[in-house]
Structure 1
Amino acid sequence: MPKKVRTKERRFPEKTPEKFIKFQERIEISFHDEKLLMQAFTHSSYVNEHRRKPNEDNERLEFLGDAVLELTISQFLFNKYPTMSEGQLTKLRASIVCEPSLVAFANQLSFGDLVLLGKGEELTGGRERPALLADVFEAFIGALFLDKGLDTVVSFLQKYVFPKINEGAFSHVMDFKSQLQEIVQRDNSGILEYKVLQEKGPAHNREFVSRVSLNGIELGTGSGRSKKEAEQKAAQAALEKLKLDSKQ
């Protein structure tokens, strides 16, 4: 009887596609295992259509990346906001490690262009589907952790994620006034007072500038589209000042 010819399983191409090479150049990170990088961007629909093994898609990496993001962002928030309560830290972290935020991070890096999709998923707009992009971002973090370690993950986040936090992109879930009040009450420092220093701009595009003082001494100023926002920004500035003063 003639011997059966065993067909080879179709795996990732031996040569890394150009788009993944350029992506590594763009983020200035070179993977030791580029197949791991490609796996992070491989959707289950692509695996199914190319008769690959189920574990060659990015779902396991997504699982790992979710945990790595929770850890690294928790550590960043813990160090950045030393007076924030556990409940406030949890709320802030949840606003960062959530689908809309992860999608924004993925779009910032054009992850949609890199995803390997099956034809059906491609035709139904998979590259722009929020859940898919959020999963891919987590999978990439998981792959980066496995290939380069935690320090490289943190360096990557310092470049693409942490600046968004520093810029106040998630300040809508933070109550800086309550944090400042908590510190003042804990230390019996005195009385906080907020005052609107300036109102400018037309009625439909008003901007307010507020100041927060402790016993008549200015701690910080801030501006915003409403008095409430301006006061929150002033309180945030005051917290930063108190943090610096405590280190001196």
Structure 2
Amino acid sequence: MVPQDELLERLGVDIDAETLRLALTHRSYAYENGGIPTNERLEFLGDSVLGFSVTELLYREYPGLAEGDLAKRRAAVVSTRALAGIARRLGVGDFIFLGQGEKVTGGKNKSSILADTMEALIGATYISSGLEAARQFVVGLVKPLLADAAVLGAGTDWKTHIQELAANRQLGTIHYAVVGEGPDHARTYTATLLIGGTAYGTGTGNSKKEAEQQSAANAWKVLGPDATLAATE
């Protein structure tokens, strides 16, 4: 079995060889190989198919939810973090064509690259097999996430919520103390959220932004019953 066939088996879709290769071609590889086409146009297309398919799924599966709650769930399951998690589970990173610079800096595990590639694969499915096949592909990918509280929470901008809460309660100035560890290509960050000089939450991630969001989410859980209740809505 050729590598691309193995990927298609994991994805459970049919994509012709040429379109599949294009979907897996990151711009770093394209630039190092004479400026060949990249997967960015397929990513653009896939983003639209993803958004439509998830919106329709939510509309049908949750008839009692208000528009705002539907929007929050959609944001969570189409987020970079959620798509990258799907890609890691399927091992998509091993199949992406990357330039040497991205290879040595761990590009195959970067959330942004993985999420963009998943969108390109959705677009490629649409091109090769049509809208219904692409829609079913999306539903199969995201439906399990809708029952995952951790994933739904990832769609929340906890930093903004914490900032508003701290201001309302006059808790003091917010500061994120961030420390990075490990080599440049596999760096891990730890962020501690300080409000008025007091530490309320710590989080880790592959980027400073991800670590800060996680620390804010953890702080939200300990700042009182009102915050805890809102975090579960």
TM over 0.5: yes
Q: How does 1:106-185 map to 2 (within 5 A)?
A: 106-168=87-149, 170-172=151-153
Name 1:79's counterpart in structure 2.
60
1:171 CA displacement:
4.9
Name 1:91's counterpart in structure 2.
72
Equivalent-residue separation in structure 1 for 2:38 and 2:101 (angstroms): 16
Gaps in structure 1 of 5+ consecutive residues: 1-16, 175-226, 237-248
Q: How does 1:20-39 map to 2 (within 5 A)?
A: 20-31=4-15, 33-39=16-22
Instruction: Point out the structure with the larger helix share.
Output: 2
Equivalent-residue separation in structure 2 for 1:121 and 1:170 (angstroms): 27
Equivalent-residue separation in structure 1 for 2:89 and 2:79 (angstroms): 16
1:86 CA displacement:
1.2
Partner of 2:25, secondary structure, is coil
1:99–1:167: structure 2 CA closer, same or farther, 3 Å change rule? closer
- Count how many residue pairs are aligned between Structure 1 and Structure 2: 164
| Percent identical | 36
- What code does the residue aligned with 1:45 have? S
- Contact 1:92–1:170, Cα closer than 8 Å, also in 2: no
Is 118-127 or 21-30 further displaced after alignment?
21-30
1:76–1:60: structure 2 CA closer, same or farther, 3 Å change rule? same
Matched, 1:67 2:48: yes
Equivalent-residue separation in structure 2 for 1:108 and 1:91 (angstroms): 23
- Contact 2:3–2:95, Cα closer than 8 Å, also in 1: yes
- Contact 1:68–1:141, Cα closer than 8 Å, also in 2: yes
Equivalent-residue separation in structure 1 for 2:101 and 2:150 (angstroms): 35
TM-score normalised over the length of structure 1:
0.59
Gaps in structure 2 of 5+ consecutive residues: 157-224
Q: Which of 4, 25, 33 is residue 42 of structure 1 equivalent to?
A: 25
Q: Which has the higher contact order (CA 8 A, sep 6+)?
A: 2
Equivalent-residue separation in structure 2 for 1:98 and 1:58 (angstroms): 19
**Shift >6 Å, 4+ stretches:** none
1:75 CA displacement:
0.3
Name 1:188's counterpart in structure 2.
none
Equivalent-residue separation in structure 2 for 1:154 and 1:136 (angstroms): 17
**In terms of Rg, which structure is larger?**
1
* CA RMSD between the two structures: 2.8
1:82–1:170: structure 2 CA closer, same or farther, 3 Å change rule? farther
